[in-house]
Amino acid sequence: MTSTLSDWAREFLREDHVAVISTLNKDGSPQITTIWYLLREDGTLIMSTPGRTQKVKNLRRDPRIAICVGDERRSISLYGTVTVSSDQNVVRQDLEQLAARYIKEEAARAPALAFFLQEGRVALHVKPVKVTEFSLDQSH
36 in Cβ contact with 21 (< 8 Å): no
Give the strand pairing for 64-70 and 45-50: unpaired
What's the pLDDT tens digit per position in 78-103? 999 999 999 999 999 999 999 999 99
Domains and CATH numbers, the chain: 7-135 (2.30.110.10)
Torsion angles phi and psi, residue 136, rounded to 5:
-85, -10
d(CA 5, CA 23): 21
Torsion angles phi and psi, residue 114, rounded to 5:
-60, -40
pLDDT at position 139:
67
Block means of pLDDT (10 residues each) for the chain, 140 residues, are: 84 97 97 98 96 97 98 96 97 96 94 94 97 84
